[in-house]
Amino acid sequence: MRKKFYCGYDESYYKERIIIQKKHMIKFVIFLKGKNVRWLDVGCGLGYLIKEAVEEGIDAYGLELSRYAIENSIMKDRVLQGSITNIPYKSNTFDVVSAIDCIEHVNKRDAGTSFLELNRVLKPGGICILTTPNPLHIGNWMYDLTHVNVREPEYWKRLLQKCGFKVKLPYLPSFLKYYFYWNLNVALPIADSLAFKLEEPLRRLLGHVMSSKGRLYIFAEKIDEVKNSEC
């Protein structure tokens, strides 16, 4: 029996939307880096992103703190238990790291340590994708008590830069396809690669516009090795 969530929608509705979001994130990474990459999803939950990435031919792995989530993961053989503040992988292991709706659960004291760890396990030139609630959006004023570190965009940008990243632009999924499908349930008949190329001139502008909404999409590149704890 399907579980009913708020607004009358059931569990499958939210699962489908989560998968749609992750699929478009994967398509964007493929557009930027190709499929021959190693990807670590930190705070991977039940492993949906890992599953979708592996099905696309990407060598993807997950890190999850919750034992319950790991035991119920759909990708158990690719998930390790651990924390973003102490990632159990060697330095320069991954081409891509992601932390989707994760960093708001890390207290301010450990935020810099978390970004240093993401930097450490990334290869030079590797990319980091983050999403987190935006406190400037009125819809986020209904506070989730598990969100102990919800910050404005400039805070995250400064901290990432201090920890060896270049924040190239606010990450934005394909708005020609992703947002149409998400909001209107319409799949536009256009190839992913073409959609991303057509969108690129507007991506920075629209990224800033979308980042003023309920969720921040942050895209950063590792440019420096940072070995101290000043973050």
Please say if the pLDDT value at position 148 is more than 70: no
Report if residue 125 sits inside a domain.
yes
Q: What is the pLDDT of residue 171?
A: 53
Report if residue 181 sits inside a domain.
yes
Q: How much is the pTM?
A: 0.78
Report if residue 171 sits inside a domain.
yes
Tens of pLDDT along 171-201? 555 555 555 555 555 555 666 666 666 666 6
According to DSSP, residue 59 is labeled E
Report if residue 231 sits inside a domain.
no
Range of the domain at 192: 27-140+148-222
Report if residue 112 sits inside a domain.
yes
pLDDT band at 153 (very low <50, low <70, confident <90, very high): confident
Report if residue 12 sits inside a domain.
no
Domain count, the chain: 1
Report if residue 3 sits inside a domain.
no
CATH number of the domain within which 104 lies: 3.40.50.150
Pairing of the two strands 165-170 and 122-133: unpaired
Residue 101 gets the label, from left (phi > 0), alpha (psi -120 to 50) or beta, of: left
Query: CA of 178: how far to CAs of 40, 94, 132, 216, in Å?
Result: 23, 26, 18, 16
Report if residue 20 sits inside a domain.
no
pLDDT band at 1 (very low <50, low <70, confident <90, very high): very low
Please say if the pLDDT value at position 212 is more than 80: no
Alpha-carbon distance of 224 to 162, in angstroms, equals 10
